[in-house]
Amino acid sequence: MSEKIIQIHDVGKTYHTGKIDFEALRNINLEIEKGDYVAILGPSGSGKSTLMHIIGCLATPTVGSYFLAGKEVSKFTSNDLAKARNLYIGFVFQKFNLMPQMTVLDNVSLPLLYRGIKTEERRSKAKEVLEQLGLASHLMHRSNELSGGQQQRVAVARALVTNPEVILADEPTGNLDSKSGEGVINLFNQLHEGGKTVILVTHDTAVAKNANRIIQIQDGTIRV
């Protein structure tokens, strides 16, 4: 029997803006097994980003419980959430979110910095991952010296450097041309084949089709 890496039970998320309460998610129940390849598909405003924030420990649910790798992170403090993100989640964002002042090598080694790993080891691990993704010749470049596709590969390398349980990608092809997007999706496919749990958050059905399982979300709930 496969191990469940993500277990979400009756989760809801309400945002309070002034006197208005906005219910972004309600009654979300979701289980994802280790090694799964899941796409969370939904249109803009459907609540998929909120769900991604909760899965990625960037936010906690207002109600319900969320277990990540067997730990109830919905009750974690902000410090514990930060550690959980560093330990279990590798983020890939639509806008790459690389640090412009840093080199590719420094960007990729950044998550290891927060783990307190020494410079030499950080650099060596980052270099290894970048070489695996075909970026060995760009180690000392800054992000603005790279193409969109290359930047997203760097972001994937940064997500992988800590060897996390889950790769969580938010619209990873949204800022890329179709060829570069295809390259990045192929990368996720390979990661899944290598045994990683991959979660793609997207509004693009074509992207979602790469996953083994599609979870459709609309108006803050999962459509069955």
**Site residues for another protein per CB under 8 A:** 53, 56, 58-59, 78-79, 82-83, 85-87, 91, 93, 97, 99, 101-102, 106, 110-111, 113-116, 118-119, 158, 162
Q: Please, what is the minimum distance in Å from the beta carbon of residue 93 to another protein?
A: 7
Q: What residues contact residue 45 under an 8 Å CB cut-off, 6+ apart?
A: none
Q: Please, what is the minimum distance in Å from the beta carbon of residue 116 to another protein?
A: 8
* Residue placing its CB nearer to another protein in the complex, 159 or 185: 159
The SS3 of residue 90 is strand
For residue 66, what are the β-bridge partners? 8
* Residue placing its CB nearer to another protein in the complex, 115 or 213: 115
- Compute the CA torsion angle 176, 180, 185, 187 (nearest 10 deg): -130
- Residue 52: CB atoms within 10 A of its CB come to 20
* Residue placing its CB nearer to another protein in the complex, 10 or 80: 80
Q: Please, what is the minimum distance in Å from the beta carbon of residue 207 to another protein?
A: 20
* Residue placing its CB nearer to another protein in the complex, 146 or 210: 146
* Residue placing its CB nearer to another protein in the complex, 103 or 218: 103
Contact of 163 with 194, CB cutoff 8 Å: no
* Residue placing its CB nearer to another protein in the complex, 90 or 210: 90
From CA 58, how far away is CA 53, in angstroms rounded? 5
Q: Please, what is the minimum distance in Å from the beta carbon of residue 40 to another protein?
A: 16
The SS3 of residue 210 is coil
Closest CA to 104 of 135, 148, 71: 135
Residue 26's Cβ-side half-sphere holds a number of Cα atoms within 13 Å equal to: 6
Radius of gyration of the chain (CA): 17
Q: Please, what is the minimum distance in Å from the beta carbon of residue 64 to another protein?
A: 17
Structure letter (DSSP) for residue 134: T
Q: Please, what is the minimum distance in Å from the beta carbon of residue 193 to another protein?
A: 25
* Residue placing its CB nearer to another protein in the complex, 84 or 133: 84
Q: Please, what is the minimum distance in Å from the beta carbon of residue 173 to another protein?
A: 18
Length of the chain (residues): 224
